[in-house]
Amino acid sequence: MTAACATLMIYGCRKETCEAGAGGGYTFEIYPEHHGEAIPGSTCYLEFNTRSSPGSLADFDLKVETDAGSDFITIKNMGCGDYFIYCVGTDMEDSLTSETVTGGIPYSIPPGDGKAKIKVPVTE
């Protein structure tokens, strides 16, 4: 009886571990913004289980492109954990010529599920 109670106490109180990536209950809405303005048609890169960039765009775990007219990128079924989110887009409003804007942030998602609205500042 004592062994059973100890086992329940150990496993019943264990913290949920997070594994960033596909397979969770979160929907990400990622909003690339330049000077507070949306950058439609951006591409988003995610690196899982880290709070830093892997370096090259080819090294990211996930790449998601959005439609030219959309202000944000939707990614469904993501897990809790640490992410590095990097966005690339074209700012058509900032000058007479379009400029490529980029930027990234670390982001942590707590255990659970829901919708995470994430603003990612981008710059020239």
16-32: pLDDT as tens digits: 688 899 999 999 999 99
Alpha carbon distance 95, 92 (integer Å): 7
Q: Does this model's pTM top 0.85?
A: no
Alpha carbon distance 52, 24 (integer Å): 21
42-91: pLDDT as tens digits: 999 999 999 999 989 999 999 999 876 789 999 999 999 999 999 999 88
First vs last C-alpha separation in the chain: 65
Given 2.60.40.1120, 3.40.50.300, 3.40.228.10, 3.40.50.1980, which CATH number is that of 18-121?
Answer: 2.60.40.1120
Alpha carbon distance 124, 117 (integer Å): 23
C-alpha pair distances (Å), 19 with each of 25, 72, 87? 12, 24, 22
Answer whether 67's CB lies under 8 Å from 39's CB.
no
Q: Where are the domains of the chain?
A: 18-121
